[in-house]
Amino acid sequence: LNSLFKVVPEEMPYSTVEEMVSLRPVGLESCLPFTFTSHSKMTFGNFTLGAGRALTILSVENLEGEESQVRCHVQGQQEASAEVYIPLSYHGEFYECESEECFTLKEIMSSPCLRSRRFRFVNTTKYEHPLVFSPIYQVQNVLKFPSSLEVDVVDVTELCQDVNFVTPLSLTDVLSQPDGSFPALVEVLEKPEVRSLFKCSWLPEISNNEHLVFHKKGTSAMVLISSLKSRKAQQFFLVSQQYSGRFKRRPREFNSVYEVYVASVQAPGLKVSVSRTCEEVEEEGLPALSVGEQLEVVRCEMMELPCVSSKKQKESVEALLCQREVKLDNEREDIFLPLYMQGHFVEVITDNKKYKLKDFGKEFSLPLDVKVVSRDTELETDPLAGFACLKIEGAMLEPMIQASFPQKPDHCFEIPAQWLSMSVSFTKDPLPWPSDQPPTLRVDKVIEVTDTFFYEFRRKGVSDAAPPPRPPKRNLSTSKPPKKSKKKSSKGGKSKNVQKNSAPTTEFADLTLNSRKRPPAPPPPVSMTSHTHITSPRARYNLLWFWCNF
């Protein structure tokens, strides 16, 4: 700390000059000059000094055979000054003045006299209240035994029958204890780190030598939920599936056809609405889409792309067959969307059903956008109820230790044993309730976590699944950009792919990139009960799509 500090004057008055000099916490010889004022006027022979005038002690004069005096400097009017001698026995009401001398933190800590004083920052904008600095000592005993020392080993087991040796246990060790060991009172030997992965209210209250009640251990089904990014900081919550609030689904957003395809595998008959216009690129098989058009996913099929050159064979790619509503004819037409196609779609939701948290894993894939429509009434404050939209990121099974403080044994919280590091020891102290009247436990079901926890969760969930398909590599011989054609509706419910030829130039004929075939799209998840993770980029090539289940 590079700040400078000033000594805060003592507020207590002194009755004599001798008392003021002798009782000052800082030795007079180490910090002269020293300034003080008198509450009443002072008279020394023919010299009278008015009340409130500042006097600066320059030195203490000890003369043999005479009373000791202090030599003081007095600043008069019009820059006139004088020196006066005041006997140490002079009576009055004296107050210490603030000194202009500044000290560093190192100087304060190295002086026993200064450590007993109060200080303030020279720059008062930092902190205006007085500060008291107390050093923290760390004593380390090092014993060195020479190798030639003869040592006698004596068995003292019989002499130490009453000695209780503390056995430190990590939270992982606590999980391995038998169920009969709970409930029990434990002592915290090493508290968790302040900067942990959690923002829960009970964590700062856990300190060394603190006692906790461990009610039981087990495995809890948890769900990781995040708020949407906004002007405020994004928040993350670890929520137990025992959460009794009700949710409604919110439309999911998709940034590619492949994401729509993955979602359709889990929800057959998926309907989406186009949220951003896409222009047609006929050479790549990309149809035109307008904002507001509704598409119903049918299945995934192979489609042929128009050839760039008449000499080349047609290329087949995976595409999503959808039915598009034609408002004018009140009919539907088939439309093929290549899986590599970029687009912006919003899920069309028709049901208003209210779901429990544990119901989502049975019918939908994750992540999933939801909103709390009825709060958990068992919680004093439900932190999830105030958000307009939440995203269920994933689910997990976590080893938990149900704990509480002895002063509130019925108010329990769950400690994630694999995400929190602390050391405890079991004690033989009695539980904080009558043996025949165990309390009715209320367990917190929502734990706020940091963004670091969220990133660690995402990192552990990434699998080695293949990425979504890339667009076909076009022939470099094409000298002109592809033309954009107008939208054409197919008749009879079928779409037609119009082939368009372009003549390559001879000098670029050998530079074609179409010699290698594009790998097929990765297969979709097999069922809702599997825990497969599908990796899907939100950019065309490398956005991650996580799919996991409860």
Q: Of 20-24, 81-85, 173-177, 470-474, which gets the smallest average pLDDT?
A: 470-474
Average pLDDT over residues 204-232: 87
* β-strand pairing of 211-227 with 390-405: antiparallel
CA distances in angstroms from 340 to 158, 168, 290, 297, 387, listed in the order given:
78, 56, 18, 16, 34
Q: Strand 47-49 vs strand 81-87: parallel, antiparallel, or unpaired?
A: unpaired
Q: Give the Cα separation of 182 and 173 in Å (integer).
A: 14
- Number of helices (H), then strands (E), belonging to the chain: the values are 7, 28
**Residue 485 pLDDT grade (very low, low, confident, very high; cuts 50, 70, 90):** very low
Q: Would you say the C-alpha torsion 266, 271, 276, 278 has a positive or negative sign?
A: positive
Which DSSP string corresponds to 435-486?
Answer: TT-PPPPEE--EEEE-HHHHHHHHHHH---PPPPPPPPPPPTT--SPPPP--
Of 186-200, 213-227, 230-244, 486-500, which gets the smallest average pLDDT?
Answer: 486-500
User: Which runs of E-coded beta strand occur in 45-144?
Assistant: 47-49, 54-61, 69-75, 81-87, 91-96, 103-104, 119-121
What residue type is assigned to position 430 of the chain?
P
Model confidence at 52, pLDDT cuts 50, 70, 90, reads confident
Tell me the average pLDDT across 46-58: 83
**Tokens 């087991």 map to which residue?**
157
Checking if the pLDDT of 406 tops 90, the result is yes
The two three-digit tokens of residue 377, written as one number: 């009434």
Q: Which range among 141-150, 173-182, 370-379, 494-503 shows the weakest confidence by mean pLDDT?
A: 494-503
Q: Which of 341, 344, 453, 434 is CA-nearest to residue 393?
A: 453
The Cβ of residue 246 has, within 10 Å, a number of other Cβ atoms equal to: 18
User: Sorting pLDDT into bands at 50, 70 and 90, what band is 329?
Assistant: low
Q: Which pLDDT tens digit goes with each residue over 297-314?
A: 888 888 877 765 555 667
Whether residue 530 is predicted with pLDDT greater than 90 in this model: the reply is no
The pair of structure tokens assigned to 307 is 């050839």
Report the C-alpha gap between 121 and 119 in whole angstroms.
Answer: 7
Residue 537: closest CA among 285, 335, 282, 342: 342
How high is the pLDDT of residue 510? 39
Q: Where in the chain is the domain with CATH 2.30.30?
A: 252-305+316-348
Strands (E), 270-417: 271-274, 294-305, 315-326, 331-338, 342-347, 368-374, 390-405, 408-416
The answer to whether residues 132 and 118 touch, using CB atoms and an 8 Å cutoff, is yes
Residues 6+ apart with CB under 8 A from 545: 258, 259, 262, 534, 535, 536, 537, 538
CA–CA dist 202, 88 (Å, integer): 58
pLDDT in tens, 242-259: 898 999 888 888 888 888
Which residues are CB-contacts of 344 (< 8 A; sequence separation ≥ 6)? Answer: 253, 254, 255, 274, 275, 276
**Distance, CA of 300 to CA of 263 (rounded, Å):** 12
Note the pLDDT tens digit of each residue in 283-300: 677 888 888 888 888 888
Provide the strand spans (E) within 80-156.
Answer: 81-87, 91-96, 103-104, 119-121
List, in order, residues 6 or more apart from 495 with CB less than 8 Å away: 287, 333, 334, 335, 336
8-state DSSP, 106: H
Dig out the tokens for 103 from the structure: 């000290």
- What are the Cα distances from residue 449, in Å, to 77, 83, 92, 236, 496? 66, 68, 62, 5, 52
Cross-strand bridge partners of residue 333: 324
Q: What is the pLDDT of residues 412-462, one digit of tens each?
A: 999 998 888 899 999 988 999 988 888 999 888 999 998 888 888 887 765
Residue-level pLDDT at 535: 37
Domain 252-305+316-348 class?
mainly beta
Select from 241, 173, 263 the least CA-distant residue to 468: 263
Give the pLDDT confidence of 439-453 residue by residue, as tens digits. Answer: 999 888 999 998 888
Token digits of residue 400: 């938990």
Helix, coil or strand: residue 434:
coil
| 197-201: average pLDDT | 86
